[in-house]
Homo-oligomer: A and B are copies of this chain.
Amino acid sequence: MTMMAPLADSDLSAEAAAVFADIRATRQTEFVNNFWRVLAHDPVALKRTWESIRQVMAPGALDPLTKELIYVAVSMANSCEYCIRSHGAAARAKGMSDAQFMELVAVVAMAAETNRLATALQVPVDDAFKQV
């Protein structure tokens, strides 16, 4: 088998099962999505990735919804269908409205256009932006 199948709870190693317990406790839901079930084939990577994402997405100088909006936007820029859908659902759960979603999409697309314009035209960086 080249590609790894999602693991059922009954197939988890002890270390992976402990991470799943923490995911369930943190998110307060029994549902564990396929991303973690595939990554569970490598329990060390599972634990490292889960702990990193929990740390990065915790409330800080940016609130959780803003962080989730940024996550969705980057997933769109990186063309990751799985991540657009899973983090889109997470943003919904944190309160993203339809109007906010459509505005997010508009900013992502507008940035794609002007990013490409700046690169295509090889626009020289202004001194004002170099100093900052």
- Chain A interface residues toward B at CB < 8 A: 1-4, 6, 31, 33-35, 38-39, 41-42, 44-45, 48-49, 52-53, 55-57, 60-62, 66-67, 69-71, 73-89, 91-92, 97-126, 128-130, 132
Q: Is the interface of A mostly helix, strand, loop or mixed?
A: helix
B residues less than 8 Å from A128 (CB atoms)? 31, 33, 89
A112 to chain B, nearest CB (A): 4
B residues less than 8 Å from A124 (CB atoms)? 6, 34
Cα distance A57–B92 in the bound complex, in angstroms:
22
A107 in contact with B57 given A6-B123, A33-B129, A125-B85 (CB within 8 Å): yes
